[in-house]
Amino acid sequence: MDVIVVGAGPNGLTLACELALGGVRPVVLDRLAEPSREPRSNGLVGQVVRMVDRRGLFERLSGQPGPPRPNNGYFMFGAMPLNLGLLADSPLFTLPIPELETVRVLEERARELGADIRREHEVTGLTQDEDGVTLTVNCPKGTHELRARYVVGADSAHSPVRKAAGIGFPGVTHDRTSNRTAHVSLPPDWIDPTTGALIVPGHSPVQPFLPIRTPHGGFSYAPLPGKPPLVSTVEWDEPPTDAPMSLDELRASAGRVLGVEVHLGPPDGDGPHVLRRINGGNTRIAERYRDGRVFLVGDAAHVFGAGGTGLNLGMQDAINLGWKLAATLRGGADILDTYESERRPCADRTVTHSRTVAALMSPGDDVTGLRGVFGELLTQPSVVETLANLVAGSDVRYPVPDNAHPLAGWPAPDLTLNTPQGTVTTTELAREARPVLLDLTGTLDAKGIDTIHATANTDITALLLRPDSYVAWASTDPEPDQAALTEVVERWFGVTPTRPQGDT
């Protein structure tokens, strides 16, 4: 086999789709008989929303026609409102969707593309040599071995693949917080029909999706589409308990946080419904993302205590690694080490995001004073823009040479191109996950690369786009440098792409 992906969650299935688009038929193993129905993430936030649109999946995930639109209203940062309306161009995209539905759509797409998804296959051992990786796998038919050229662990924060490969997972674990979350029902007259705000008698309105902090903790109210309202609290330094979580416990917690009685009833409709308590948290990044022929993506490579952008990071890990593995298997340039050099800074930046949010949510009068000053800063568009880019994950430039064009290393700009065959956008050009040269001068040549000759309303004269829609090379010169383009094509794509010769 060419590639075995361990884990059929959103990250593993995204990687399977990317490999299949690159001409590699992946095998995906998952220990569960069916996708977990345990409620987890509630949507996608950040650049990954635009990326699923580039792959033609946004409408399938959102259930709505048309492309994603940026959030030009309010978002949250450390339980403080981030007014995106202050920006001329908001970088923040959101897609509310339960993780179970995300998994369903991604698995459906992976199977359409030819991925071999094998459930009830649990990896219990791993060894590797110079030529490949051998996995020991338990399945309903017994224990057997599978062999692949590469193995990718997309198997959660407790990743058996990471542990078997001997990759450390350093970081910080804390037990100072207790987070409680549940689907609930609320008194109908507590919902403002105009704003959707939660009107708790004796307390100021709680806006939907905008957490608040009080001297006693944090509280949030999220009326997600198609689900009962989701209510969450966070408190500090509570005595640990092993008792099962209950709705009474959440009611008591909400009362302590808000200082008033909060009427929370059992949720309406069919489940699965959330009812959970999480004590403490982790912020960790793997010592390395690669060990020989073993790679890590998503939670197997990094976990964060706060911020809510884990899927944005993990699915983009998969998109970055997928085309590079496929290109290497097709005989292209060996660029696999660039996976970690490009994606680790994104994880480091997410750690900054997570720690900042946690600090702003912490108890104490000193933090209250800090939030007062921070609130003043949030009236400045430049500050809002910085934080919006931090949340969106759009403030990290992939490493490029010192003399590279300012566009290189950043996601592709949105352009509408006029070609002899008609109008096409850079988003549409990304559907097949292939490198593309946009030549607006009609003078360039890139062997083995799809070339689009076009005109457009832009100062850009040429763009070389990677399969993950990042800019590998760009020019705004009337006569672009062919030699510089050729050098970049050779560095990233090597020889003319051919299909892999593996067993599957």
Backbone torsions φ then ψ of 31, nearest 5 degrees? -75, -20
Per-residue b or e along 22-61, where b marks 16 or more CB atoms closer than 10 Å to that residue's CB: bbbbbbbbbbeeebeeebbbbbbbbbbbbbbbbbebbeeb
Q: Are residues 23 and 107 in the same domain?
A: yes
Backbone torsions φ then ψ of 136, nearest 5 degrees? -95, 125
pLDDT of residue 332: 81
pLDDT of residue 446: 87
Tell me whether strands 275-285 and 302-303 are parallel, antiparallel or unpaired: antiparallel
Q: Are residues 211 and 264 in the same domain?
A: yes
The answer as to whether 489 is a domain residue is yes
Q: Are residues 483 and 436 in the same domain?
A: yes
Q: Are residues 203 and 304 in the same domain?
A: no
Residues of the chain with pLDDT under 70: 39, 306-308, 495-504
pTM for this prediction: 0.93
Q: Are residues 156 and 25 in the same domain?
A: yes
The answer as to whether 369 is a domain residue is no
Q: Are residues 201 and 326 in the same domain?
A: no
The answer as to whether 11 is a domain residue is yes
For residue 315, give the 3-state DSSP assignment. Answer: helix
Which residues does residue 153 pair with via DSSP β-bridges, in sequence order? Answer: 6, 296
Per-residue pLDDT tens over the stretch 445-478 = 888 899 999 999 999 999 999 999 999 999 999 9
pLDDT of residue 239: 79
> Which structural domain, as residue segments, surrounds residue 247?
174-281
The CATH number of whichever domain residue 433 belongs to comes to 3.40.30.120
Q: Are residues 110 and 5 in the same domain?
A: yes
Q: Are residues 275 and 305 in the same domain?
A: no
The answer as to whether 350 is a domain residue is no
The answer as to whether 118 is a domain residue is yes
The answer as to whether 188 is a domain residue is yes
pLDDT of residue 320: 98
pLDDT of residue 308: 63
pLDDT of residue 311: 86
**Contact in structure between 307 and 354 (CB atoms under 8 Å):** yes
pLDDT of residue 333: 80
Q: Are residues 16 and 126 in the same domain?
A: yes
Closest by CA position to 89, among listed 469, 377, 389, 349: 389
Per-residue pLDDT tens over the stretch 297-316 = 999 999 987 656 788 899 99
Q: Are residues 445 and 464 in the same domain?
A: yes
**Contact in structure between 357 and 78 (CB atoms under 8 Å):** yes
Per-residue pLDDT tens over the stretch 203-260 = 999 999 899 999 999 999 999 888 899 999 999 888 778 889 999 999 999 999 999 9
pLDDT of residue 307: 59
Q: Are residues 415 and 483 in the same domain?
A: yes
Q: Are residues 20 and 103 in the same domain?
A: yes
Number of domains in the chain: 3
